[in-house]
Amino acid sequence: MSNSGSQRELDVVVVGAGFSGMYLLYKLRPLGFSVKVLEAGTDVGGTWFWNRYPGARVDIQSVEYSMTFDPQLEKDWKWTEKYSPQPELLKYAQHISERYDLRKDIEFTTKVESAKWDDKTERWTIHTSTGDTITAKYYVMASGTLSVPKDVDIEGKNRFKGATYLTSRWPHEGVDFTGKRVAVIGTGSSAIQSIPIIASQAKSLTVFQRTPSFSIPAYNGPVPETVLDEYWSDRDGFRQAQRESAGGVKHTPTTVSALSVSDEERNRIYEEAWAKSGLVEFLGCFSDHMINPIANEYLAEFVRNKIRATVKNPETAEDLCPKTYPIGTKRLCVDTNYYATYNLEHVRLVNIRKNSLKTITETGIDTQDESFEFDAIVFATGFDAMTGAMVSVDIEGRNGNTLKKAWEAGPHTYLGLMAKDFPNLFMVTGPQSPSVLSNMIISIEQHVDWITDCIVNLRGEGFTTIEPTQTAQDSWVQHTNDYGDISLMLKANSWYVGANVPGKPRVFMPYAGGVGSYRTTCDEVVRRGYLGFERKGPKGTAVNDGKIKQLMPDVELLLQAMSTMEIPLFESMSAVEARAFGDMMSAGRPAGPEVGEIADGTLPGAAGNTLEYRLFRPKSKGPHPVVVYYHGGGWVLGSATSDDPMVRDLCDRSDALIVSVNYRHAPEDRFPAAADDAFAALKWVADHVTELGGIPGKLAVAGWSAGANLAAVVSQLARDSAGPALSGQLLLTPVTDGSKKWPSYTGNGEGFILTQNLMDWFWDHYATKEERLDPKASPLLAKSLAGLPPAMVVTAEFDPLRDEGNAYAEALTKAGVKVKHLQCRGHLHTSISMVDVLPSGASVRAEMATAIRGFFGATVTA
């Protein structure tokens, strides 16, 4: 009940009486907090209160889309359908509100109009549409992610004299379209669910489609007995599996790539997934649909063929086939008879990409080629998603900073739970949390539990405010963006990236790391004393500044996967065993991109020995500039072919001919054999440039790790021996200094694949302590670095060799050498070279290839 015009003080104000707001109330009230939930609608239910369009139903199986906090509730509530319809979901929400006596603390028909933080009183002042003023210690936005309809941005939208409907604001009494000529604008989830029902009533239905959606069949019906049996046989295990999963549904992820199986096997798995349905399961039937464009295209084409097989008119079928974005990068829809509806005589699809929608008229819709007359128009045009509900309220935090302004360039949050300058303001399923990429119920419960624990903890520890630090927030925003960058999500104009709302910044808003790992992260933040938060109270301020995630997401996943395997240490083996083990590890890796030609040969080494080389020729017509490449492996391991995937990648990207040369290895041939062979190979290539298909005078060197050490060394030798002339040197995570251990040697010495112990093992095989002081082993120790060719030095944040690589880049710059120094955030010594395994390395290799092109164009920008 609202106290119109009243002024009140509360502990917590919650906005929204959907599942989030109700669960918060359920949790906070018995803990002794005074709480009110403010709700704009006339009843509980949130999404399921507002979205009453025909056919509206959940797209996650009901058994999984259920509140899990009370097992007795689960026993008592029986879902009737696999995917419950909106009326049943609304009844469920109403049942929860009654069962736990929540309504008495929910004020309906009450909109929050503004909320302002007062630093002195440490309270939020909230003004509502009913004229109330409430102050509260904590303000929680549980207002939903898809709750504010997008403005209908179509010319003439108010001219139409017939009936108009918005799917998300459907009349409570329902609509009967019998005998009516109906238009639907939009083909997202809401349209795809409502179109078959509207078609079953209307005299005619015309659908105006701008972008087709991918949709899979729901096979809706009674809740399958098999699902119920599985659930009740181990209820706790089932729920735990949901909480630990990626999408909040019980699904065991596969590690099998769509590229690793035959066409027949792939098709068999797709058919099986199609027959089972389930959007998480369908997209997840191979491991790489959301990161690898080729894998994604296989799945997309499979669905297109299903559309073609269903829709009889070939032109309509083709119009319904999405071709402009990867599958899954717009929300995958789950439908009942959507595509088949277009086989009905009175249903027509208008592709407004071909026949553009000009305006809505008094009597219908004009397109470029045709005038349509309608009795009713349904707008299924979507939402101002994720941030819309947050910024539509005038929220003013510290120092007059408004949330609208703070998020002008996209949301900035810590964990999608809080934002800097907005103390004691919490968000449930906010942007930069898994929210819309997951089963919302699982994410809602996790957030509500975290927020409740946080408020209880503050009270217990005597703190009155909590707010993220700038460092923590910035790094979380970065981490969320990193996930966006390694996935295909940015390739669609979706509401996930704000592209559906004109003027909204294009930013990937949800967190794609999965609910299980996200939950672990949120728990870790607490375990580490609220890492990334500043908490204040009468006893003082506790600032626990820091970053919770620093590795690239794919690098972190790799390390996690490796930690579960028992991989023997190289340094526990003999050199011969280590080489065999290295070869075995390399055997299953992706090959890297196609190049024009690969040819193997031999060349003379420095001591009358013979060295193998492998030549990688670009696809373009030669002659090409030439790069001599030296492989990694600590002067002990590797060969002319051991870095194949990365060399192919560099060849393809840089359009340079690359000659990967071998050199003698330690301990059989210790220092300076490798350096001498590396220089001998460079001279031989320089003498044979034309025969190899290269352009005389366009020669550079490149290498990775110990190979980068050799590339740096031969650059110095070439300078000192007056040739060969080099256009550039590309040094990827180089070894440059064997004389001392830089801080990164210990700081990153454990847990990041290349360890301090392994590096010691390599050095011990290669050179004595005295020999390491020789610039032929430690190029950083050269008397002068002046006169060396332009360089690109790439160092990785979590590499033991980071600091010596950085030192070499700085020393080169100081000596007047043109240097492009790339310091790769979140990377390891080994991660940049893992072609088609770790997507985050691709942008680094692209920059390396640009540098190679720059060497031969004679300009490298520092």
Nearer to ligand NAP, 144 or 779 (CB): 144
Nearer to ligand NAP, 495 or 679 (CB): 495
58 scored as a contact of ligand NAP (CB under 6 A): yes
Structure tokens at 22: 């109700």
Phi, psi (rounded to 5 degrees) for 668: -60, -45
Nearer to ligand NAP, 126 or 347 (CB): 347
- Taking contact as CB under 6 A, which single stretch among the options 136-144, 378-386, 620-628, 806-814 is the one that binds ligand NAP? 378-386
Do you know the residue count of the chain?
862
Which strands form 819-824's sheet, in the order they lie side by side?
597-604, 610-617, 657-661, 624-630, 694-704, 728-732, 791-796, 819-824
CB–CB of 89/45 below 8 Å?
yes
CB–CB of 198/176 below 8 Å?
no
Nearer to ligand NAP, 379 or 798 (CB): 379
β 163-166/215-217 pair status? unpaired
Count CB neighbours of 579 within 10 A.
19
- Taking contact as CB under 6 A, which single stretch among the options 57-65, 272-280, 806-814, 818-826 is the one that binds ligand NAP? 57-65
Nearer to ligand NAP, 323 or 769 (CB): 323
- Taking contact as CB under 6 A, which single stretch among the options 189-197, 270-278, 607-615, 719-727 is the one that binds ligand NAP? 189-197
823 forms bridges with which residues in the sheet? 795
Write the single-letter amino acid at 821. Answer: H
- Nearest-angstrom CA–CA distance, 530 and 543: 9
Query: Nearest distance from residue 61's CB to ligand NAP, in Å?
Result: 11
Query: Measuring CA to CA, which residue among 434, 423, 530 is closest to residue 480?
Result: 434
282 scored as a contact of ligand NAP (CB under 6 A): no
- Taking contact as CB under 6 A, which single stretch among the options 238-246, 303-311, 375-383, 671-679 is the one that binds ligand NAP? 375-383
Q: How many residues sit close enough to ligand NAP to count as binding (CB under 6 A)? A: 25
Query: Measuring CA to CA, which residue among 109, 188, 106, 176 is closest to residue 495?
Result: 188
- Taking contact as CB under 6 A, which single stretch among the options 56-64, 99-107, 222-230, 583-591 is the one that binds ligand NAP? 56-64
- Nearest-angstrom CA–CA distance, 739 and 524: 39
Residues 6+ apart with CB under 8 A from 637: 570, 575, 578, 579, 582, 665
57 scored as a contact of ligand NAP (CB under 6 A): yes
Query: Nearest distance from residue 170's CB to ligand NAP, in Å?
Result: 12
Structure tokens at 74: 């689960």
Nearer to ligand NAP, 303 or 628 (CB): 303
Instruction: Tell whether omega for the bond before 568 is within 30 degrees of 0, i.e. cis.
Output: no
Rounded alpha-carbon distances, angstroms, from residue 610 to 551, 676, 677, 710: 41, 13, 9, 18
Query: Nearest distance from residue 859's CB to ligand NAP, in Å?
Result: 42
Nearer to ligand NAP, 380 or 551 (CB): 380
Beta strands in 345-471 (DSSP E): 347-351, 357-360, 364-367, 371-373, 376-379, 394-396, 425-427, 465-468
Q: Of 191, 320, 386, 714, which one interacts with ligand NAP (CB under 6 A)? A: 191
Which strands form 364-367's sheet, in the order they lie side by side?
357-360, 364-367, 371-373
- Taking contact as CB under 6 A, which single stretch among the options 54-62, 70-78, 264-272, 706-714 is the one that binds ligand NAP? 54-62
- Nearest-angstrom CA–CA distance, 862 and 850: 13
186 scored as a contact of ligand NAP (CB under 6 A): yes
211 scored as a contact of ligand NAP (CB under 6 A): yes
Phi, psi (rounded to 5 degrees) for 682: -60, -45
Nearer to ligand NAP, 190 or 292 (CB): 190
- Nearest-angstrom CA–CA distance, 473 and 677: 50
- Taking contact as CB under 6 A, which single stretch among the options 55-63, 458-466, 740-748, 826-834 is the one that binds ligand NAP? 55-63
- Taking contact as CB under 6 A, which single stretch among the options 180-188, 310-318, 720-728, 789-797 is the one that binds ligand NAP? 180-188
Query: Measuring CA to CA, which residue among 440, 361, 457 is closest to residue 164?
Result: 361
84 scored as a contact of ligand NAP (CB under 6 A): no
Q: Of 185, 689, 785, 838, which one interacts with ligand NAP (CB under 6 A)? A: 185
Nearer to ligand NAP, 110 or 194 (CB): 194
- Taking contact as CB under 6 A, which single stretch among the options 53-61, 157-165, 746-754, 809-817 is the one that binds ligand NAP? 53-61
- Nearest-angstrom CA–CA distance, 128 and 598: 71
- Taking contact as CB under 6 A, which single stretch among the options 187-195, 597-605, 664-672, 806-814 is the one that binds ligand NAP? 187-195
**Cα diameter, the chain:** 96
Residues 6+ apart with CB under 8 A from 102: 17, 22, 25, 26, 37, 44, 96
Nearer to ligand NAP, 81 or 764 (CB): 81
Q: Of 18, 278, 382, 513, which one interacts with ligand NAP (CB under 6 A)? A: 382
Query: Nearest distance from residue 155's CB to ligand NAP, in Å?
Result: 9
Nearer to ligand NAP, 211 or 277 (CB): 211
Nearer to ligand NAP, 211 or 733 (CB): 211
- Nearest-angstrom CA–CA distance, 682 and 629: 9
82 scored as a contact of ligand NAP (CB under 6 A): no
- Nearest-angstrom CA–CA distance, 386 and 479: 18
Contact pattern from residue 418 through residue 457 relative to ligand NAP, giving x for each residue in contact according to CB under 6 A and a dash for the rest: ------------------x---------------------
Nearer to ligand NAP, 189 or 716 (CB): 189
59 scored as a contact of ligand NAP (CB under 6 A): yes
Nearer to ligand NAP, 148 or 615 (CB): 148
Query: Nearest distance from residue 765's CB to ligand NAP, in Å?
Result: 57
- Nearest-angstrom CA–CA distance, 737 and 759: 12
Nearer to ligand NAP, 148 or 486 (CB): 148
For the segment 136-165, give every residue that binds ligand NAP (CB under 6 A): 146, 153-154
Give CA torsion, residues 617, 618, 623, 625, to 10 deg. Answer: -90
Nearer to ligand NAP, 159 or 619 (CB): 159
For the segment 477-536, give every residue that binds ligand NAP (CB under 6 A): 495, 500
Report which residue's Cβ sits closest to ligand NAP.
188
- Phi-psi map region of 504: left, alpha, beta (phi>0 left; psi -120 to 50 alpha): beta
- Taking contact as CB under 6 A, which single stretch among the options 181-189, 473-481, 534-542, 661-669 is the one that binds ligand NAP? 181-189
Helix ranges, 144-188 (H): none
Nearer to ligand NAP, 73 or 154 (CB): 154
- Nearest-angstrom CA–CA distance, 231 and 15: 33
Q: Of 37, 134, 380, 793, which one interacts with ligand NAP (CB under 6 A)? A: 380
Query: Nearest distance from residue 159's CB to ligand NAP, in Å?
Result: 15
Query: Measuring CA to CA, which residue among 684, 706, 686 is closest to residue 694?
Result: 686
Query: Nearest distance from residue 382's CB to ligand NAP, in Å?
Result: 3
Q: Is 203 helix (H, G, I), strand (E, B) or coil?
A: coil
Nearer to ligand NAP, 193 or 277 (CB): 193
Q: Of 16, 18, 45, 188, which one interacts with ligand NAP (CB under 6 A)? A: 188
62 scored as a contact of ligand NAP (CB under 6 A): no
Binding region for ligand NAP (CB under 6 A): 57-59, 146, 153-154, 167, 185-191, 193, 210-211, 331, 380-383, 436, 495, 500
